[in-house]
Structure 1
Amino acid sequence: MSTSAAHLAGTVTLVTGASSGIGEATARSLAAQGATLALVARREERLESVAADIRASGGSALVFPSDITGDGEAVSLVERVLAETGRLDVLVNAAGIMLVGPALDAPAGEWQRNVDLNVSALLNLTHAALPHLVAAARDDEGRGVADLVNISSVAGRQAIGGAAVYSATKFAVTAFSEALRQELAARHVRVSSVEPGAVATELTDHIRDGVREHNQAWYASLETLRPEDVADAITYVVTRPRHVAVNELLVRPTDQV
């Protein structure tokens, strides 16, 4: 996907889940487009390593260690980013967890963790960021547009047995993104849902014993996407000209049915 039509020089982008996987790859890709990156995740040491690599490549990155599921953390985080950078042009909600398995006898805590990170944290951070995205879009000296990208999933299009709550969270992300798109389109805040299929990340590592092995075997049967493939799609979305909005983008491995 070509990104030659636009660039992100002078913008500030906040990426959650930036310590690994899709979030990390997206941070690196958007930094290469000229954005100043606000890197958010729990693992500070890993964030510092990603930031150092970005800076070594001529980019700009700041580290904001945070557990975005914490009470009041979304507002505090956005305030810290604004204090350091002065603006917010792009928010990529890439943090997520995939705790799957049969519903019968599933630990209730797994269901709650899916909801806490995939839905509640995303909603809270989006709520805190929206006024600043609207302000960036109307800034005469900026791009005249702002971007909110939410990472959903194929499971947000097709409910999957054995992943009932995970699917529910991703359906919620997709629905929220579409409704919010309708509200913000006239303000030139583009809201996009990117829906990856199977991606080689740490997601499967957190699945409980007895379920993880089956899931990982299914992943191994595919030529899975790399995090960089999804980052490329996200970069395409946020670097379109002001009048172009890519609202929904489904990205699967070629051999995933």
Structure 2
Amino acid sequence: MSGQRADAAGLRLLVVGASSGIGHAVATSAAGRGATVAVAARRLELLSSLAEEVGGSAFELDIEDTAAITSVVGAAVQALGGLDAVVFTSTVAPLAHIEDTDVATWVHAFSVNALGANNVLRAVRPHLSEDGVVLIASSHDVGRPRAGVAAYNASKAALDEILHSWRNEHPDLSLVRVGICPTEGTEILRGADRDLLAQLFESWVEHGQLPARMAALDDVANTLLSLVLTAHENPSVVPEFVQLSPRIKKVPAAN
């Protein structure tokens, strides 16, 4: 990408959740900065196009299928010739008031957002190079939930606790947790009920839960990649808990 240093040369990177949004942008940025990239997600048609664009490998993966995770990670490691970094961005954010959130919705959110990340960690850990890094995308909103996204927020809170346990039991692992702020150009609410979304939007605005401006997609992706590179190049430290927030610039007063 223009303006980016080619400082990822030689990095062997797997991006899980790369068919769109932040994962897609991370893969594109990493390849543009010299990394060798493998991408995994459910939508193989989109992944194949991305892999062709970045000169990498694409793997179809349903993150709720534990056996498939193990298989895909093994195939990705073989295609990459090793594994230096993993970025996990797979996320679902079902919209429903909490009293309307059924069991299937709760299970789906936890399966993808919490257990999916955990199972990817389990699968990739044996393959990581000595200074390997795993970055997991969490949520900026953990601990301050908005209306209508109870399953999403609860599953991301559970994810944070899972990552605390990983750090406790495996302090040698370079594990970076990033709270993602509201970001333009993602598909996190793909398929949402538009009428419900409009109602919730009013609630979020009323309670001051929406920023005046969201973060730019490429800026978020480049920040995630920079965190991976920093951890990889400085292996005695881990930027273990990072929160991203939109930077709201003041508009110059008119003359």
Task: Verify the 8 A CA contact 2:84 2:133 in the aligned structure 1.
Answer: yes
Q: 1:109 to 1:207 in 2, by over 3 A?
A: farther
Q: Deviations over 1:222-247 (max 9, x none)?
A: 32122212212111111113234211
Alpha carbons 2:37, 2:80 under 8 Å: kept: no
**Counterpart-to-counterpart distance in 2, 1:71 and 1:48:** 22
Q: Normalising by structure 1, report the TM-score.
A: 0.82
| Residue matched to 1:234 | 224
Which of 164, 169, 172 pairs up with 2:155? 169
Contact 2:91 2:112 in 1 (8 A): yes
- Structure 2 unaligned residues grouped into runs of 5+: 249-255
1:234 to 1:154, Cα distance in 2 relative to 1, 3 A? same
Identity across the alignment (%): 27
Match among 162, 167, 176 for residue 181 of structure 1:
167
Mapped partners of 1:110, 1:214: distance in 2? 20
Q: Following TM superposition, by how much is the alpha carbon of 1:120 offset from its aligned partner in structure 2, in angstroms?
A: 1.8
Q: How many residues align?
A: 237
> How far apart are residue 108 of structure 1 and its match?
2.8
Correspondence 1:207 to 2:206: no
Using the size of structure 2 for normalisation, the TM-score is: 0.83
Paired residues of 1:3 and 1:235 also in contact (CA < 8 A): no
Unaligned 5+ residue runs, structure 1? 56-60, 138-144
Deviations 1:112-167 (A, max 9, x none): 2211211122111111111112xx01xxxxxxx11111100012242334322211
What are the equivalent positions in structure 2 for 1:68-217 lying under 5 Å apart? Answer: 68-133=63-128, 136-137=129-130, 145-185=131-171, 187=172, 189-200=173-184, 201-215=186-200
Q: Which residue of 2 aligns with 1:225?
A: 215
SS of 1:203's partner is coil
Contact preservation (8 Å) 1:93, 1:150: yes
Distance 1:228 1:157 in 2: 26
Root-mean-square deviation (CA, aligned residues, Å) is 2.4
